[in-house]
């Protein structure tokens, strides 16, 4: 009778022991596959979050006499690692005139005060794309007529609908923006669009007149540059937000930027905004460490328990081993039979584990991933200063993640399971196999 037949007959005859071994190996394989699936999913989640939560840094050059020059912006964009996405911003105040130079009327109702010199002035916001300004993205502003202002537009403004009604202005009209300190220094602009606010201003009664929503004007960067620095033919800005491809390289990129010539970097403030990514990354790394430890612990425990189980099992088969040796069957054949008995059961357990681990890993993994990515995220307020916001981003890319058993993980567990069976069987059989046939036969009696 060959060893394969002997192995099958023994497994069938000893149903209780076989089912016990099957249950143990099934639990082992399911745990291993679940851990590996979650670990693979965290790697995918990290990659998705890196795309969703792009890190960026802000250059605050408000204290510089000439801000950030246009050629410096070009140099910054050439730094390796930047995504090419950026936002340039400037903030100032201007007096408002009609095309004939007559002062326009602003809203003063609800203002905490009307500062001297600002009786006909308001806040001027310049952005490389007005639709991306925080007033529109977070403040509830929306266009009602005309077009937003982009980097390609020049000498244009967006005005509030109440300001337009108060002064009889419409899209296509011309008005003048004047330097508050030097009202003779004016620049003509065309009304490109009219906006309104969908949310009431929460600082009514506290804000000065120039900060009331009705009195805010959006313009292009070159117009703001003229009002701030008196530049013509070139554009200097106060703030620049520059996004990177990989948030992990943010520190290196900021260092490279500060090595560029043409800007007094010591008097600039560079602020990194990657807390979103770092918080999520830290949570995912913590989950990965837990899963790694779980895999190591499960591996060690499975090896020790399986070795102990097989040791006790083989101790009860010394008589059987002696009979095989008396029949002239070699120790190697006997050992292979014992190993084959375990491998047959392990193969069945590994096949079943695919289904059990798929169901378990999906439920547990999805829950863990959603929990570890629920963190505190960071926003930027209307003036460029940062503040904490207790609300998560809407989509971190987790919707695209499916915690499932991959072919690689399944193959890895198969390999691990076979190695574990061979090592445990060899360890359990070693005390018997090292005995001489005479000693084994003597113990039979």
Tens-digit pLDDT profile for residues 45-72: 777 777 667 788 999 999 888 899 989 9
Biggest alpha carbon distance in the chain? 122
Triad 281, 285, 291: Cα angle to 5° = 145
- Give the long-range contacts of residues 411-420, CB within 8 A, separation 24 or more: 412/36, 413/29, 413/32, 413/33, 413/36, 413/350, 413/353, 414/350, 416/32, 416/299, 417/25, 417/28, 417/29, 417/32, 417/346, 417/349, 417/350, 418/343, 418/346, 420/28, 420/299, 420/302, 420/303, 420/306
pLDDT at residue 78, rounded to an integer: 92
Q: Would you say residue 394 has pLDDT above 60?
A: no
Evaluated on CA atoms 159, 161, 167, 168, the torsion sign reads positive
| Mean pLDDT to the nearest integer, 216-238 | 91
pLDDT at 366: 59
| Res 317 pLDDT > 80 | no
Statement: the pTM of the whole predicted model exceeds 0.75: no
pLDDT tens digit sequence for 228-263: 998 888 899 999 999 998 888 889 999 999 998 888
Instruction: Give residue 390's pLDDT band: very low, low, confident or very high (50, 70, 90).
Output: very low
Q: What angle do CA 239, 190, 221 make, to 5 degrees?
A: 10
Which pLDDT score, from 0 to 100, does residue 124 have? 95
Mean pLDDT computed over 385-410: 55
Using the predicted structure, report yes or no on whether residue 145 has a pLDDT greater than 90. yes
As a whole-number percent, the residues of the chain with pLDDT over 70 amount to: 86
User: pLDDT category, 365, cuts 50, 70, 90?
Assistant: low
More confident residue, 382 or 269: 269
**Mean pLDDT over residues 344-364, rounded?**
82
């Amino acid at each position: 009778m060959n060893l394969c037949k002997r192995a099958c007959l023994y497994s069938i005859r000893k149903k209780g022991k076989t089912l016990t071994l099957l249950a143990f190996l099934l639990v082992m394989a399911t745990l291993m596959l679940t851990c590996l699936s979650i670990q693979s999913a965290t790697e995918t989640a990290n990659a998705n979050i890196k795309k969703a939560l792009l890190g960026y840094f802000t250059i605050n050059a408000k204290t510089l006499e000439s801000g950030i020059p246009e050629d410096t912006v070009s140099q910054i964009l050439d730094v390796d690692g930047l995504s090419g996405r950026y936002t340039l911003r400037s903030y100032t105040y201007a007096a408002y005139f009609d095309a004939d130079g007559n002062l326009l009327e602003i809203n003063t109702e609800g203002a905490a005060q009307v500062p001297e010199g600002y009786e006909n002035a308001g806040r001027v916001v310049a952005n490389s794309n007005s639709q991306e300004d925080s007033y529109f993205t977070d403040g509830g502003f929306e266009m009602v007529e005309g077009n937003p202002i982009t980097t390609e537009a020049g000498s244009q403004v967006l005005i509030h609908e109440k300001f337009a009604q108060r002064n009889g202005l419409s899209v296509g009209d011309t008005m003048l923006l004047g330097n508050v300190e030097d009202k003779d220094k004016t620049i003509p602009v065309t009304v490109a669009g009219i906006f309104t606010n969908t949310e009431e201003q929460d600082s009514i009664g506290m804000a000065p007149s120039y900060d009331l929503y009705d009195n805010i004007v959006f313009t292009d960067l070159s117009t703001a540059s003229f009002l701030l620095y008196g530049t013509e033919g070139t554009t200097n800005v106060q703030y620049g937000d520059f996004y990177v491809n990989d948030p992990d390289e943010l520190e290196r990129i900021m260092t490279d930027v500060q090595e560029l010539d043409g800007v007094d970097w010591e008097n600039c403030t560079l602020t990194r905004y990657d807390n979103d990514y770092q918080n999520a990354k830290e949570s995912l790394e913590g989950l990965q460490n837990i899963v790694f430890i779980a895999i190591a612990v499960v591996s060690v425990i499975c090896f020790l328990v399986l070795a102990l189980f097989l040791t006790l099992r083989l101790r009860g088969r010394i008589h059987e081993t002696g009979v095989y040796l008396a029949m002239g069957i070699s120790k190697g054949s006997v050992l292979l039979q014992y190993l084959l008995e375990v491998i047959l059961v392990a193969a069945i357990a590994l096949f079943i584990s695919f289904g059990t681990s798929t169901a378990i890993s999906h439920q547990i993994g999805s829950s863990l991933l959603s929990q570890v990515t629920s963190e505190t995220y960071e926003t930027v307020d209307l003036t460029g200063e940062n503040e904490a916001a207790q609300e998560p981003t809407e989509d971190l890319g987790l919707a695209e993640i499916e915690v499932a058993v991959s072919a690689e993980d399944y193959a890895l567990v198969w390999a691990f399971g076979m190695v574990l069976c061979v090592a445990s069987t060899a360890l359990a059989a070693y005390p018997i196999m090292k005995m001489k046939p005479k000693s084994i036969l003597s113990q039979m009696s």
